[in-house]
Amino acid sequence: MNPAGLKVGAFCLMLATLFAPLLRAQNSGSIQGTVVDQQGAAIPSATVQAVDQDKGVVARETTTGATGLFNLQPLQPGTYTVQVRATGMRELSRPGLQLDSRQVMDLGELKLTVGNVSEVVTVESLTPLVETATADHSSVIDSREIQETSMNGRDFQSLVRTLPGVVSNDSSDFRLAFNNTDSFHINGLRGSDNNVYLDGAINTDVGANDGQFTQLSMDAVGEFKLQTTNFAAEYGRNPGVLLAVNTKSGGKQFHGTLYEFNREDGFDANYFFNKVNPDAATPITPPTPKSELRFHQYGFNIGGPIPLKKLSPWSNKKMFFFFNFEGTRALKPNGSN
C-alpha cells in the first residue's frame, strides 16, 4: 500500500476509535437501585459492580450516594450480575439481569445484612416485565426468538409484524430486497417515518427513508427493540418509530456456527390446479410446471476473546471480537412465494 493509503487508513481507524464510545453510549442502558440495611436505612459509599456474565469482566463500577442510590451506566445490552459490597455487611449478588437496548432497569431496594464481608448472599428473583423507571413504550425481540423462529427468506425484520400496532403491505416474507424499511406501518404512521439504528448509529438511508445502509444477517443480530413513544432527544429526525438493532459480541469462550439454508422447487408440492384431471369429460389445458426456485443462504460466524499479552491476557480477558459472513444466491421468478 502506498503512503497515502496508509495515512487514510490510520485516519479512519482514529475516527472509529474516537466515535465508537459515543455510538455505544447511544445504544446503552443502565441499572439503578438503592442500597439499604435490614431496617431500610440508606447505606452510603457501598461499592456496586455490574459484571458482564458472558465476558466475565466488570463492565461498570460505582459507589452509592448519601441516600444509598446508585446508577450503573452506560451498559451495553446483555446479561449482568450486580454485586454490592459495604463494610461490615455480607456481599449481595443479583445474577441473571437481562438488560435490553436503552433500558433503564430499576432494581428497587437492595437489602444488605450484617455479617462477614467474605459471605455472599445471592438473590434469585425475576426483574419486572413492566419498565417502571421510564415512560417509554417499547417491545423487544431477543436473540433466542430471532434464531428459533422459522422465517421465509430469513429477514429478521419480518418479526416486527409480531408486535402490537404493526401492519404490513408486504404479502410475502420471501423478499430479496433485504434493506427495505418502509414495508411495515406502526400505529398508523407511514413506512417512511421508520427510523432504524444499528449499534447506536443511524442506519436509515435519509435520502429516501426507505432502506438501510447495512442489513444484518439474522445470525449477527443480538436483539432489536421497537420504540413507539417518548423518544430521548438524540433520537429525533422524524416523528416515526425507532427500530434499534444490536449486533452480537464475543464472550470469554470461543463460539461459532456454520450454516446453509436452502429452498428449491424440487422440495415443494405442485399447485393443485396445475394438475391434470383424468376424470374430466373434455380435455383441459395442459398442467403448468412449477416455477423454478433456487434460494441459498450460507455463512458462518465466530466470536471469542482477543489474546494480547499485556492488554488482554488469557488470565484477564478484556478484549473480544465477533465476526459474521453471509452470502445469498437466488433464482426467484416473479409471482413465486
Q: What is the pLDDT along the chain (337 residues), one digit of tens a residue?
A: 455 444 444 444 444 444 444 444 556 789 999 999 988 999 999 999 999 998 888 999 999 999 999 999 989 888 899 999 998 888 999 998 988 877 888 898 999 988 776 677 877 765 555 566 666 677 888 878 887 887 777 888 888 888 888 887 765 555 555 677 887 888 888 888 888 888 888 888 887 777 888 888 888 888 888 888 777 766 666 667 888 888 888 888 899 999 998 888 778 777 666 655 555 555 555 566 677 788 888 999 999 999 888 888 888 888 899 999 998 888 765 554 4
Q: What are phi and psi of 82, to 5 degrees?
A: -95, 125
Q: How far is Cα 231 from Cα 137, in angstroms, rounded to an integer?
A: 9
Residue 14, in any domain of the structure: no
Asked, for residue 7, whether it belongs to a domain, the answer is: no
Give the domain-ending residue among 61, 93, 122: 122
Residue 166 maps to which CATH number? 2.170.130.10
| Residue span of the structural domain in which 81 resides | 21-122
Q: Which amino acid is at 287?
A: P
* Residue 1, domain member (yes or no): no
Other CB atoms closer than 10 Å to residue 227's CB: what's the count? 21
Same domain (yes/no): 233, 163: yes
Sheet holding 104-111, edge to edge: 69-75, 29-36, 104-111
Q: Which residues have C-beta within 8 Å of that of residue 288, sequence separation ≥ 6?
A: 271, 274
Please indicate, yes or no, whether residues 143 and 239 belong to a single structural domain of this protein. Answer: yes
Domain match, 91 and 165 both: no
Is 4 inside any structural domain? no
179 in any annotated domain: yes
What's the total number of domains in the chain?
3
Together in a domain, 142 and 107: no
- Residue at a domain's end among 223, 247, 271: 247
Alpha-carbon distance values, 220 to 91, 102, 181, 246, 326 (Å): 36, 19, 18, 9, 9
Grid coordinates standing for 64? Answer: 452509592
C-alpha cell at 69: 442510590
The C-alpha angle 101, 104, 107, rounded to 5 degrees, equals: 125
Grid-cell match 430521548, residue found: 232
Assess if residue 10 is contained within a domain: no
Claim to verify: residue 101 and residue 161 sit in the same structural domain? no
69-72 long-range Cβ contacts below 8 angstroms, 24+ apart: 69/32, 69/33, 69/34, 69/42, 70/32, 70/33, 70/34, 70/35, 70/46, 71/30, 71/31, 71/32, 72/30, 72/31, 72/32, 72/48
Q: Domain for residue 58, yes or no?
A: yes
